[in-house]
């Protein structure tokens, strides 16, 4: 195989700009087929993005002989079904985050792929972005000394009545489809960065609940994670905070300084040491998944390491399960 011919299952919002067009911009990669259960929407997507074929049946796309890799971009409730089917077809899989509906499903995908020697990557796409790779480099160079702890604060108000009725939002608030509401939609990015920076976690404890009662899913999560070298991560997520009080704070504190940044703002981060503050600016990316997709393509072609493995996806799912335990 010298080129990856992609098929997308679930050509919805995330594929319009974040990922879909990137498959045709990465070397040795092209998008040849898309699928959506609504045939008219699948046809429209294919027409607008110049994709040769479209389907309203995922199995037909998976078994299309021209498709040799599958990108699963559906809600998490169907990730396991489609991933197992693609693995059975011996086609490598790129799975949207969160990897599955729950930890057990993610573990089954990873095990199934390993047993059949089929490659799987997970769309924790910040691993490919220059901003976060520069932070990782500075940590490795001990720009802030030895890492002591990490603090995450993420606050959002209750969604508006209009947003609550939006088709692109409603499924994210249904635990049976998303796994656990807005936390499960957004926290995988943040938690995976912690794993990317600090390595495999040793222990995690937390709890969650529903304070405002505006969603079926919980609206707050609080927890702690212990990493190697006694690095402590403390996180608090609230999706029922005061309007206008939004916060997106990720601070890594070391023995000689700290690094501060926002996970959902790609433009800059700040290094603080005894010498003062240094701001590292970064420009916006047209397709935020493109850097990771390029790495995934190289991995699928046997030209590089897996940038975001199934094991990483399983670890993040495990952390989410641990952090969302109910209080006694």
Work out the average pLDDT over 303-324.
Answer: 97
Tell me: pLDDT of 325 over 90. no
CATH of domain 130-284: 3.30.360.10
Residue 28 near residue 52, CB atoms below 8 Å: no
Domain boundaries, the chain: 4-126+289-309, 130-284
Work out the average pLDDT over 129-151.
Answer: 98
pLDDT value at position 167?
A: 84
pLDDT value at position 165?
A: 87
- Comparing CA positions, the residue from 143, 120, 169 lying closest to residue 306 is 120
pLDDT value at position 111?
A: 98
Q: How far is CA 260 from the centre of its chain?
A: 20
pLDDT value at position 328?
A: 63
For the chain, percent of residues with pLDDT exceeding 70: 99
Query: Do strands 257-261 and 220-227 pair parallel, antiparallel, or not at all (unpaired)?
Result: unpaired
Place of tokens 């009545």: 161
Rounded distance between C-alpha atoms, residue 143 and residue 110, angstroms: 35
pLDDT value at position 1?
A: 81
Work out the average pLDDT over 121-147.
Answer: 98
Look up the pTM and report it: 0.96
Fold of 4-126+289-309: Rossmann fold (3.40.50)
Rounded distance between C-alpha atoms, residue 317 and residue 152, angstroms: 18
- Comparing CA positions, the residue from 289, 325, 304, 322 lying closest to residue 96 is 289
Work out the average pLDDT over 275-279.
Answer: 98
pLDDT value at position 168?
A: 84
Rounded distance between C-alpha atoms, residue 93 and residue 325, angstroms: 30
């Amino acid at each position: 195989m010298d080129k990856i011919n992609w098929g997308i299952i679930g050509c919805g919002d995330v594929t319009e700009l974040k990922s879909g067009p990137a498959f045709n911009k990465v070397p040795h990669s092209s998008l040849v087929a898309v699928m959506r259960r609504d045939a008219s929407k699948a046809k429209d997507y294919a027409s607008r993005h110049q994709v040769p074929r479209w389907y309203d049946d995922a199995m037909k796309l998976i078994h299309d002989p021209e498709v040799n890799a599958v990108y699963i971009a559906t809600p998490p409730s169907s990730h396991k079904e489609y991933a197992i089917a693609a693995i059975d077809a011996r086609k490598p899989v790129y799975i949207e985050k969160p990897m599955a509906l729950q930890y057990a499903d993610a573990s089954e995908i990873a095990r199934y792929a390993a047993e059949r020697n089929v490659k799987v990557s997970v769309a924790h796409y910040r691993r490919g972005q220059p901003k976060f790779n520069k932070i990782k480099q500075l940590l490795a160079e001990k720009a802030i000394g030895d890492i002591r702890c990490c603090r995450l604060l993420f606050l959002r108000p209750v969604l508006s009545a209009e947003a609550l009725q939006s088709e692109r939002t409603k499924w994210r608030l249904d635990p049976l489809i998303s796994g656990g509401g807005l936390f499960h939609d957004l926290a995988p990015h943040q938690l995976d960065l912690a794993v990317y920076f600090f390595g495999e976690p040793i222990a995690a404890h937390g709890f969650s609940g529903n304070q405002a009662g505006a969603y079926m899913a919980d609206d707050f999560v609080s927890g702690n994670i212990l990493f190697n070298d006694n690095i402590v991560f403390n996180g608090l997520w609230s999706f029922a905070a005061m309007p206008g009080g939004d916060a997106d704070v990720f601070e890594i504190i070391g023995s000689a300084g700290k690094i501060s940044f926002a996970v959902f703002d790609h433009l800059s981060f700040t290094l603080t040491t005894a010498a003062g503050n240094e701001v590292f600016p970064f420009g916006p990316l047209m397709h935020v998944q493109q850097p990771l997709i390029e790495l995934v393509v190289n991995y699928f072609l046997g030209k590089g390491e897996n940038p975001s493995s199934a094991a990483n996806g399983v670890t993040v799912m495990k952390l989410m399960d641990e952090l969302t335990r109910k209080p006694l």
